[in-house]
Chain A
Amino acid sequence: MSTIIEVSNLSFSYPTEEGKAAHRVLHDIDLKIEEGEFVAILGHNGCGKSTLAKHFNGILKADRGSVHVLGMDAGDEENLLEIRRNVGMVFQNPDNQIIATVVDEDVAFALENLGIPHDEMARRVDEALELVGLSEYRQRAPHMLSGGQKQRVAIAGILAMRPKCIILDEPTAMLDPKGRKEVMKTILRLNREEHITVVLITHYMDEAVQADRVIVMAEGEMILDDTPREVFQNVGLLHSLSLDVPQTAELMFALRQEDIKVPISVLNVDECVAEIEKLLGGGEND
Chain B
Amino acid sequence: MLKDITLGQYFPVKSFMHALDPRMKLLLTLLYVVALFLVSDFWGFLVAAFLIGLVASFSKISLKVVFRGLKPLVFIIMFTAFFNVLYGGGEPLFPQIEWLSWIKTDGVKNAAFMIIRIILLILGTSYLTYTTSPVMLTDALERLMRPLKIFRFPVHELAMMMTIALRFIPTLIDETDKIINAQKARGADFETGNIIRRAKALIPILIPLLVSAFHRAEELADAMECRCYHGGAGRTRYKIYSLGWRDWVALGAMVLSFAAIIMLRIY
Contact = CB atoms under 8 A, between A and B. Distances in A.
B236 A96 contact: no
B86 interface: no
A91 B167 contact: no
B166 interface: yes
A11 B29 CA distance: 58
Given A89-B226, A113-B230, A104 B238 contact: yes
A100 B222 contact: no
A91 B222 CA distance: 9
Contacts of A254: none
A54 B222 contact: yes
A215 to B, nearest CB: 21
Given A81-B228, A81-B230, A93-B219, A118 B240 contact: yes
Contact of B219 (A97, A100, A105, A112): A97
Contact of B227 (A105, A118, A157): A157
A161 B135 CA distance: 23
A112 B232 CA distance: 10
Interface residues of B, number: 28
B84 interface: no
Interface in A98-113: 98-102, 104-105, 108-113
A111 B171 contact: no
Interface in B127-166: 133-135, 163-164, 166
A102 B223 contact: no
A91 B228 contact: no
Contacts of B226: 57, 59, 84, 88-89, 158
Interface in B214-249: 216, 219-220, 222-230, 234-240
B170 interface: yes
A121 B236 contact: yes
Which of A54, A97, A125 has the most chain B CB within a 10 Å cutoff?
A97
Contact of B225 (A84, A111, A112): A84
Interface in B181-239: 216, 219-220, 222-230, 234-239
A125 to B, nearest CB: 7
Contacts of A161: 227-228
Interface of B: 133-135, 163-164, 166-167, 170-171, 216, 219-220, 222-230, 234-240
19 contacts: A81-B228, A84-B225, A91-B219, A98-B167, A99-B223, A101-B134, A104-B238, A112-B237, A113-B227, A113-B230, A115-B236, A116-B236, A121-B238, A125-B238, A143-B170, A143-B171, A154-B223, A158-B226, A161-B228
